[in-house]
Structure formats: structure tokens, C-alpha cells
Structure 1
Amino acid sequence: MESFDIVTITVNSALDKSTHFKGLVPEQKIRCDEPRYDVGGGGINVSKAISRLGGTSLAVFTSGGPMGKMLEELVAKESVEFKAIEVQTWTRESFVAVDDNTNSQYRFGFTGGKISEEESERILEAIAALKPKFLVASGSLNEGLSDDFYRKIAEIAKKSNAKLIVDTSGEALKKALEVGVYMIKPNVGELAKLIGVERLELEEVNEAAKQIIAKGGAEIVVVSLGPQGAVLVTKDVYEFVPAPNVAKKSTVGAGDSMVGGMVWALSQNKSLKEVIRWGVACGSATTMNEGTQLFKGEDAKRLFEWLKNK
């Protein structure tokens, strides 16, 4: 198999379906527009984002049943190289519906089907056989996978000297940090939980991130601040970037796009100042599109130019 500088991993992949309707009324049949289908799941979205910036990556993801086959076809249409690992349970769906009367967005997510122990081992073996410079593990874990699954991936990355970026939350993230990773992207609430406090104010984020870095949990901590922007922290660097003011239509995939923009920039040997700005540009550009579409390359580049001097 061709070698790739960037490999993304999605164990809980999804087929994203989005639509529009007019008026949410209980007990009545809601007439919806023809649905739009997009590929989904953290790592797959990261690979899509990288592709839209002109980069290449290998997307490794689970695929099961008819939904899995449809997912593979859609990934191929995105011009993303991929390795699908077949599993017995069907690939899950996620559903986004927008009420045109109120412009309210409703997001429905389903849990992923159970992954067997044998399938789990096949996923880990596939990852171990790859030797990328950057390895991205993103998204939630399926039923059947233990909380230490990303920890096992961290151990694989350490052995192969791959720089591991983990974008998840809860115990799965905590256990990965015990091994040590290259970069994480929590929001403020998730960062608070990682250091064992109830909440954090904005002025406390830098010190909280440095606690994780000092313990060897991560080299880079990027904290998403939602509409306020994001900060990037290392032991020597603190970079705050405000989010540009754009007309928001959907936040689906914004976090994954942010990770994709940053990993692409890292692979291009950009400075950390540029890395965080590419991340914010891609995340913000995604919110400009409806449903689950992610961003347009030209929008991300335009926003990056605006952010260069911010």
C-alpha cells in the first residue's frame, strides 16, 4: 500500500443525512425535502478537510452493511484515499433537520453498533501496519470498545514515532493522555474535566492546558472557545485567535474541520501561529454551509488571509 504522511482513524463512522422541513408539530407527519447524504465520523471529516485544502491522507474507518457500502462510495467521490475495515454491524446514521420556519437545527445521533474483540484487533493491526508522520484518532467509540482503545493507538503511535492527534472526550481521552500524545483539541468544558475542576474561566485556560503539557499528556493543547475562537498552548507558546464573524448555517463538522486544517498545516511545516489560524479558518468556513457539508476551500483560504494579522 502507498505510504501516507497523514492517516486518520474513524472507528465509529457514520452516514450523515440532512434535510429541511416547515414546522415541527407533535403527532403529525412532518414532510421533509429530499435528503442530502454526506460521509461522517471524526476522522473521515478530517480527511475530507485535508483534501479540500489540496492535501492527501489515508482514511481508515469501519464499514458495515448497506450503509457502509454507501459510505465507501461517498468517500471515494470526495477523492479521499481510504481503507475500509469490514465489521458485522451496520454503519450508523446521523440525522440533521432544519425547520425553515424558525431556522432551528435539530441534530440526531445514533450510537455505533457493537465492535467485536476480533474486529477491534483487526483495526489495531491495520493501524500498526501504517507508519505515517501524523496519525489522527477522532470521534466517539462504539459499544464493545473499551475506554483504553485510544490508549492502545497511542502506544502504537509511540512505537512508530508517529505524531498522534486525538480528538475525543471523557475517559477515552484521559487514558490516551496517560501514554502521551502530540496534540488534543478539547473545548473549555472538556479541558476542565481533564484537570479535575468544575469549570474554567477564559483567563484560566492557558494554565490548565500547561498542566496537561507538564505531565507529558500532550505537546500541543488547542482549546476550542466556540464563537470566541480558539487558543493554542505549548510549554513555550500561547496563541489566541478570534473567530471571524460569518453567517452561520450549521456547526456540524466544524470541530473536525478545525482539526483537518491544523493537521494539514502541520504537514506543510507551517508555524504554530499559522496552524491555529488555519484551524479556526476551516472550522469557521464550515459553519457557513448547511447540514453536514463541511467547508469550501476558497472560503477557508479567504478567512485565513483575514486571520493572518489577528
Structure 2
Amino acid sequence: MKNIATLTLNPTIDVAYEVDKVFATHKMRTAGEYHNPGGGGINVARVFVRLGGNARVHYLSGGATGVALDGLLDRHQLVRAQIPIQGETRVATSVLERDSGKEYRFTPPGPVVEETEWRLALDQLSQVTCDYFVASGSLPPGVPEDFYGQLAAALAPRGIGFVLDSSGAGLRGGLSDEHVLLVKPSQGELQQLVGRDLKGPDAIAAAAQDIVRSGRARYVAVTLGHEGAVLATAESTLYHPAIPIDAKSAVGAGDSFVAAMVYALASDWPVEDAFRYGIAGGTAAVLTPGTDLARPADIDRLYAQIKTG
């Protein structure tokens, strides 16, 4: 099994609650309280390690909430490499309303990262040793749009497979050159990137394949939520519908998809099978409540359904 490193520039402490019903003004008594370390790269590492892989978590954090995040990462027994900043690490909250089954999610923008801080982070990360590097999550305020692109270019000469899962400026700037192995946008993120609506799997597949053929990424996997996912390579595209399930929480579904797909790629699976394993990972995450993520037994069970379905 190959080693991965992950990067979370804007991590969170993920807090989740359940309430019977959401009301304005009134105090609501909660149940089912969860606290977990969160943010794209951290979530990817959590699932990757559960599957049996080795991962080192790189992340920016600061303040009292940064100390709390360190403790949560230690509780999950993740190998971590903290990059200190002055700003306070953010806290994200999700609330499940039992009566309606609706989930309400509150995510702050995160702390401002000073230029000296992100330049130091870029220097340190450029020296990382691993087989795959997963840059996942949004850019915090203050970090330049092309940060992920700069990092991918710095790692490319050493043959490290760069995986990108971001949105908006982070996605656009990360695809500014030809150093990305795999990029995983959602349908909405892809539409924002290309600047137009994409109706149906065929249009999504064509837009994804345009990215591959332009040289900006070798593979593009687009997640479509309850409608499935699309994979684009230079030679072909593949659409797979979603597996019908009883959804409990959408938190971490995209991260679990990335973790499972990269785990399969790191195990030398063909990219099409790795894509299917990614779908199983994303679907498995939706089965878990609160801020929990995909579990290996669920991933393997769902993957078997996909392969035989």
C-alpha cells in the first residue's frame, strides 16, 4: 500500500446535533452530539486510514480552537503535521431536525491567513514525501487563488500524484497548469468552473472530458449527489447512477468518495474500478449520522452491489 499526505488549509471542528424541531428564538434541547476533526483533507485521511492505508495530515490551525482540533486528531490516531497560524480555527455546525429529516449546516469562512503564513506553508509542503498528495477543501481568506496550482507544480518533479478537491477559486487556481492527476468537483462546482449549466450526464461528461483533453487533469470524477457520478479520461467517459439508500447525513460524502477512490488507485486498481469504489465510499458516508464518515464494511458491501448491478 502506498502512502498519502493530505492538506487542509481551512480545517474545522465539526459539531453535530439532533433536535426534534427547529424553532426561532426558543431554546432547543439537543441530542446525539458529535465532535470530530473536519475539513476536506482531514476527512479524506480519516477514511483512508480506516481502509487500511497510511496517511499524514497537514493542516493550518491556530488559537484555542486549534488546540482543540489537535486533540481531536490525536483521538482519531491520525499522524498530523500542524502548520501554525495566528487566526482561530473555525467551528462548523450541522443540525438534524428529526421531524422533517432536514439537515441544517452552518460553515464560517475561517480565519485570515497572512502572506508570511501561507508562504511558509507552501515551502514546507513542497518538501513532503508521499505517493499521492490530496489537497482538499476551500481556500481560507488571504490565501492566493493559485495556491494549489503552485503546490502541484512543486510536487510534480518527484512524481507525486496530485489529487484536487476544491471549489470556486481553489478549484480554478488548482487547475491552472498540467500537474493534477485527479480532480473531483461536484456538478455545481463544475458548472461554476466552466461558466454554464450542464444538463444531464452527457453534458457533464463532455465538460469533464474537455478538462482532461486540455491537459489540466488526467482524470475528472464528478459527483452528482443522488443522481450518481461521472468519470472522464482521455479515452472515454463513464456514468454510474447512485445506489438507493436511506440517507442520514450528507456530511463528508465527497471526502469519503475521494478517500475510497485514491485508496483504490494506490492499490493499483484500474481507474474505472477505483471510480466505482469511490462511489461506494461516498454512498457509505451518507449512511452514517452527524459528522461521521464512511465505514469500510459499508464501502465493500456497496462496491459489491455496484460491480454486480
Distance in 1 (CA, whole Å) between partners of 2:197 and 2:272 is: 30
1:187 partner letter: S
Distance in 2 (CA, whole Å) between partners of 1:9 and 1:34 is: 29
SS in 2 for 1:35: strand
2:41 to 43, 46, 53: 43
1:51 partner letter: V
Residue-by-residue CA offset, 1:31-80 (whole Å, 9 max, x unaligned): 22363101100000000010111111111011212221221222222232
2:245 partner letter: V
Q: Give matches, 1:21-36, under 5 Å.
A: 21-33=19-31, 35-36=33-34
1:143 to 126, 141, 144: 141
Pick closer, same or farther for the CA change 1:226–1:34 going to 2, 3 Å. Answer: closer
Residue 242 of structure 1 deviates from its aligned partner by 2.2
Question: Which ranges in structure 2 are unaligned for 5 or more consecutive residues?
Answer: none
Q: Is the 8 A contact 2:248 2:287 kept in 1?
A: yes
Q: Is the 8 A contact 2:12 2:89 kept in 1?
A: yes
SS in 1 for 2:220: strand
Q: Identity, % of aligned pairs?
A: 33
Distance in 1 (CA, whole Å) between partners of 2:17 and 2:125 is: 35
Q: State how many pairs are aligned.
A: 307
Partner of 2:60: 62
1:152 partner letter: Q
Distance in 1 (CA, whole Å) between partners of 2:122 and 2:252 is: 25
Distance in 1 (CA, whole Å) between partners of 2:117 and 2:201 is: 42
Residue-by-residue CA offset, 1:97-124 (whole Å, 9 max, x unaligned): 1122222211110111011111102211
Partner of 2:254: 255
Distance in 2 (CA, whole Å) between partners of 1:74 and 1:16 is: 10
Residue 198 of structure 1 deviates from its aligned partner by 3.2
SS in 2 for 1:270: coil
Q: Give matches, 1:95-244, under 5 Å.
A: 95-180=93-178, 181-244=180-243
Q: Is the 8 A contact 1:254 1:283 kept in 2?
A: yes
2:86 to 85, 88, 92: 88
What's the TM-score, normalizing by structure 2? 0.95
Distance in 2 (CA, whole Å) between partners of 1:65 and 1:175 is: 28
Q: Which moved more, 1:297-306 or 1:76-85?
A: 76-85
Residue 95 of structure 1 deviates from its aligned partner by 0.2
1:113 partner letter: P
Distance in 2 (CA, whole Å) between partners of 1:237 and 1:77 is: 43
What's the Cα RMSD here?
Answer: 1.5
2:207 partner letter: A
Partner of 1:19: 17
What's the TM-score, normalizing by structure 1? 0.95
Distance in 2 (CA, whole Å) between partners of 1:108 and 1:114 is: 18
Distance in 2 (CA, whole Å) between partners of 1:307 and 1:79 is: 31
Distance in 2 (CA, whole Å) between partners of 1:98 and 1:177 is: 35
2:223 partner letter: S
Q: Is the 8 A contact 2:146 2:176 kept in 1?
A: no
SS in 2 for 1:98: strand
Distance in 2 (CA, whole Å) between partners of 1:238 and 1:203 is: 9
Q: Is the 8 A contact 2:191 2:197 kept in 1?
A: yes
Distance in 1 (CA, whole Å) between partners of 2:278 and 2:159 is: 24
Question: Which ranges in structure 1 are unaligned for 5 or more consecutive residues?
Answer: none
2:296 partner letter: G
Residue 213 of structure 1 deviates from its aligned partner by 1.1
